[in-house]
Amino acid sequence: MMDKNSFQHQIREKYQNLLDRHSRMIPEGERLKIDLHCHDENSDITDELLGRILRVPETWIKTADLVHSLKVAGCHAFTITNHNNARSCWKLLDKGEDILVGAEFTCTAPEYDNRIHVLTYGFTPEQEVKLNKYRTNLYQFMTYAAEHNLPTILPHPLFFYSRKPFPGLEFFEKLVLLFERFEVMNGQRDIWQNLLTWEFLSNLDEEKIDHWSKKHNLNPHNFCRHPYRKTLTGGSDDHMSFFAGTCGSYLHVPNLKSRLVHEKPSEIALDVLRDGFISPYGHVGNQEKLHVALLDYLSQLTLNMKEPGLLRMFLHHGTLRDKLYCLAASNIIQELKRHRFTTFFFKTLHESLNGKKPGILKKFRVTPDFKPIIHKIEDIAKSRHIDENTYLDSMGDGIHDIFNQLNRIIARRINKNTEIKNAFGDDLKNDTRTLIERFEIPTHFRSLFEEEAGRDTDDVTRIHLSKFFDQLSFPVLASAVIAGTSLISTRSLNSNRKFLNQFAQNLGQLQYPEKVLWLTDTLRDKNGVSNSLSAKLKLVQEHNLNLDFLVCSDEIREQEHLRVVKPVGRFTFPNYKEQTINVPDLLQVKQVFLEGGYDRIVCSTEFIMGPVALFLKTSFNVPTYFFLHTDWMEFIKGTTAFKPQTLDRVRRILRFFYHQFDGIFALNRDHRDWLSSKQIQYPKENIYLTSHWVSELFKPGKVDRLKAFKGRIADNRFVLLYAGRISEEKGVLELPEILKKIRVGNPDAQLVVAGVGPAESKLRQMVPDAVFLGWVEKQDMPLLYSSASLLVLPSKFDTFGNVILEAMSCGLPVAAYSIKGPRDIIESSKYGILADDLEDLAGEIAAIACNPAALTTLRDHALNRADYFSVERIMNQFLRDIKLPDRLKTKNDDFKDDIGVEEAVPGLIGNSQEFNPAFNHRPQGLEFGNFEKPDFLSRQNSTIQRDRLKTDSLKKAV
């Protein structure tokens, strides 16, 4: 159910009100109903290069079937507007049938080299020749049409093709001077585009038209009989016949009944088009109609397309890229035709869209898995005979349900059927290293289908597509076709979205709300990424920002600013079985994005939601950002024994993935520099430094060791705390060595471990006297931090380290390796311990454990450091970087909220290249820019230097 306050609901309601009000201007008895924009099988002279290369028409609908659909829809007069020809009209006239001659000509604006369509009516065969001659120059075409009193309409006015950079608003100003009739109801366009055109035309006046006439040196009287009166029309733009007549125009004919006695409907229609009042009618779906039309077109391609011929294809006019697209499309269609059940499905779907229910024999042919799909197809066929709204709703819901069911079948079969895994040879039985090493497609295509042909390809994945398709051919192909046509249809509507945004901004209304959808695979799991995202969600909810999170889960429930979609499948990684990866319904995510009125995307995880984000980016043509949480290269280096060639392959995969995004947020300077280096080559200006923050929950509290450590420790001994996932890649197996060195000079020192993970049993064996607390809830962590002596983080690949900031916020010093993340927070050992290797780390901790005074000073400095991580500054800079106008109110009056952080304190966050992104608030006088060092910091530095000298001597003794 669409939210009544959503942008989509508001524009739908506004558009419907305009239609209703406009149609009431014509009394029902004085309406001549006509669909001024529809196509049949003779729409085969197109300027679409791909169609010409593949030798396929825009549709296979017979003229008689189209006319029948128009009659069923209640039209009184008829026209067929095929591309660049009127053959269907001439044939009907030859048969003695009444038809308004029309065509949709593709004309070129020479100064921009972009093409627009022009609906033209009432011409003769001789004039058709002239019109086709002049269509290479839009101005000559419109001059000829005006001289011969041929009415023209600009269809889908905000959609045109441009070879050069998009011309922008000035081209539309010229179109206003050239045309007096505009199609504001196009059945294949979305509501937004139709409504933008309508509102724009409603705001025109003589002053604007005269101004543009002088500006562009065009006299509108040369092209329009009534240049200051803009007429609104409608048409279905139907290519498949099942929407023909459902959208169109009411022509106002005051004495309609008497005129029909003596005149043909086509003659009356032409007369009103030339000089009468017209009102559009119909129902526009946001994207459902175009998606279903493309799906039906592909179904017809599967049934009707002939082999285009490879030699002919590559000798045809066009770029190599165009021909490769056509080669790929041809192979996909031929593969679809090869599978009998897939062909059966598309034929049945095509028939159902035209109102024909599956027969009894067809129902018996399908297995139980596919019964629900056949039932959905049957429901679509039944709805065809009810009414347009029911039919449209049934189509949209039915196609979505079919897609969902197909994906569930795929998930079940993959989980249960070993034959599918055998399609990949032995690779799926091997470890991750082998899979990545062999992640390649052979250049010898035969080896994809024959086992013997791939015997000598030990370094290439052995994919046996014949086995794979034997098990999954129908559900995979059908699902891919539905997803692909959904992407293409939405992309088609949003290909010029930048222009539409400018158009709405210039109009001063109907602008998309500036609203972000943040995609993530993890939100409530027990890991650092989840914790940081949960904190962001809470902040968004508290401040009601124009930002929503989306996660796929069966367990999480929706709430304010959190959208949840149900999974169609799930799996786990071998070494991370506690982390379940859910696979979302792609079309449901797309529907959430559309209905929510979002206009940009942020993604936090690479694996599932990463490709989903790119699907949305490609579909809606919106800016998309990636928030980089994990350093995968360091993670893989630290957890695998990959060869350099394998690591290089991983890097190339990551490079390709990251380059698909418009911007990347990095959590530390090293990661930023790596992204912009030769290894990844991501544009430096599109990398934004950012930071995490911690909840206000984390602050110094009363020390209660008995409670914090579950009764195991009560005295004041040195307590070394580890908090995090207990896994080898986190460096936990180094803890015994560190503890051993501490106990040389501090034998009562105790290790406390908070967390769970796969290496827990091994660690327990190595340090049996350690205190293992298991998973500790977030609200209990401040007590733990306040009661410990020092936190150790032996991980070598953390990009930030939330646990560091949590501990420091509670006044607990931290010891870590001097790597990306910790190095930016702890900063050169000023606020904790940074070490280069295990020996150095253990030695530094052992020394500080024997120096209570130095430890106390370090605790004070850690607390001061944590204050620098201001949630307001971090989040406000993030909002600036994604160009969202929302802002959090800052707590500090000395920083103006309407300036960037770089202006307040040079080089802090954003795409600054000099300093740590995390330091969003510094007390005046810190050592940056021209600030002077304050006295209190000088005194603190002197104290810590004295303590460090003591510590150095103790470390030597140890």
- How many angstroms separate the CA atoms of 754 and 775, rounded? 6
What pLDDT does residue 434 have?
A: 56
Burial of 701 (0-12, 13-18, 19+ CB in 10 A): middle
What pLDDT does residue 432 have?
A: 53
CB 217 within 8 A of CB 227: no
pLDDT average, residue stretch 838-859: 91
HSE on the CB side for 634, CA within 13 Å? 16
Residues 6+ apart with CB under 8 A from 839: none
Pairing of strands 152-153, 114-121: antiparallel
Whether 314 shows a pLDDT value over 50: the answer reads: yes
Per the model's pLDDT, the better-predicted residue between 917 and 206 turns out to be 206
Nearest to 490 by CA among 594, 354, 641, 362: 594
Task: Compute CA distances 59 → 82, 84, 86, 119, 239, whole Å.
Answer: 10, 15, 15, 18, 6
CB 36 within 8 A of CB 153: yes
pLDDT average, residue stretch 739-767: 93
CB 401 within 8 A of CB 376: yes
What pLDDT does residue 427 have?
A: 44
Whether 2 shows a pLDDT value over 80: the answer reads: no
Whether 425 shows a pLDDT value over 50: the answer reads: no
Residue 723 is encoded by which pair of tokens? 């908090």
Whether 443 shows a pLDDT value over 70: the answer reads: no
Which single residue is written with the structure tokens 């290479």?
A: 136
Mean per-residue pLDDT of the chain: 83
Residue 828 is encoded by which pair of tokens? 């050169």
Residue 725 is encoded by which pair of tokens? 């996932």
Residues 6+ apart with CB under 8 A from 321: none
* Residue pLDDT, tens place only, 453-466: 444 545 545 544 45
Q: What percent of the chain lies above the pLDDT cut of 70?
A: 84
Burial of 731 (0-12, 13-18, 19+ CB in 10 A): buried
CB 273 within 8 A of CB 121: yes
* Residue pLDDT, tens place only, 521-544: 988 887 778 888 998 999 999 999
pLDDT average, residue stretch 917-940: 32
Residues 6+ apart with CB under 8 A from 606: 630, 632, 654, 657
HSE on the CB side for 129, CA within 13 Å? 2
- How many angstroms separate the CA atoms of 800 and 40, rounded? 60
pLDDT average, residue stretch 429-457: 51
What pLDDT does residue 313 have?
A: 82
CB 228 within 8 A of CB 180: no
Whether 668 shows a pLDDT value over 80: the answer reads: yes
Confidence of residue 417 (pLDDT cuts 50, 70, 90): low
Residue 375: enclosing H or E segment and its boundaries?
helix 371-383
Torsion from C-alpha of 66, 67, 69, 75, nearest 10 degrees: 140
pLDDT average, residue stretch 438-449: 51
CB 246 within 8 A of CB 386: no
What pLDDT does residue 47 have?
A: 65
* Residue pLDDT, tens place only, 225-249: 999 999 999 999 998 888 899 999 9
What pLDDT does residue 581 have?
A: 83
What pLDDT does residue 516 have?
A: 96
- How many angstroms separate the CA atoms of 503 and 194, rounded? 12
pLDDT average, residue stretch 312-324: 81
Helix boundaries (H) for 746-821? 760-766, 781-787, 802-809
Angle, alpha carbons 882-883-884 (nearest 5°): 95
The listed range with the strongest mean pLDDT (70-74, 692-696, 882-886, 934-938) is 70-74
Q: Is the dihedral of CA 275, 192, 393, 14 positive or negative?
A: negative
Three-class SS state of 951 = helix
Task: Compute CA distances 370 → 302, 303, 359, 401, whole Å.
Answer: 20, 21, 15, 12
HSE on the CB side for 954, CA within 13 Å? 23
Which single residue is written with the structure tokens 């009103």?
A: 272
What pLDDT does residue 931 have?
A: 27
Confidence of residue 471 (pLDDT cuts 50, 70, 90): low
What pLDDT does residue 50 have?
A: 72
Beta partners for 250?
33, 279
* Residue pLDDT, tens place only, 891-909: 543 433 333 333 333 333 4
Beta partners for 235?
186
Nearest to 274 by CA among 122, 139, 119: 122
Q: φ and ψ at 546, to 5 degrees? A: -80, 60
Nearest to 916 by CA among 820, 805, 813: 820
Pairing of strands 719-723, 790-793: parallel
- How many angstroms separate the CA atoms of 328 and 724, rounded? 48
Beta partners for 791?
721, 814
Task: Compute CA distances 143 → 139, 148, 861, whole Å.
Answer: 6, 9, 79
Residues 6+ apart with CB under 8 A from 563: 517, 548, 549, 550, 551, 592, 596
pLDDT average, residue stretch 429-456: 51
Q: φ and ψ at 750, to 5 degrees? A: -130, 140
CB 547 within 8 A of CB 597: no
Whether 306 shows a pLDDT value over 60: the answer reads: yes
Helix boundaries (H) for 179-319? 191-202, 206-216, 256-262, 265-275, 288-304, 310-315
Nearest to 189 by CA among 218, 160, 164, 231: 160
The total number of residues shown for the chain amounts to 958
Whether 357 shows a pLDDT value over 50: the answer reads: yes
Indicate the residue type of 601. Answer: I
Whether 51 shows a pLDDT value over 80: the answer reads: no
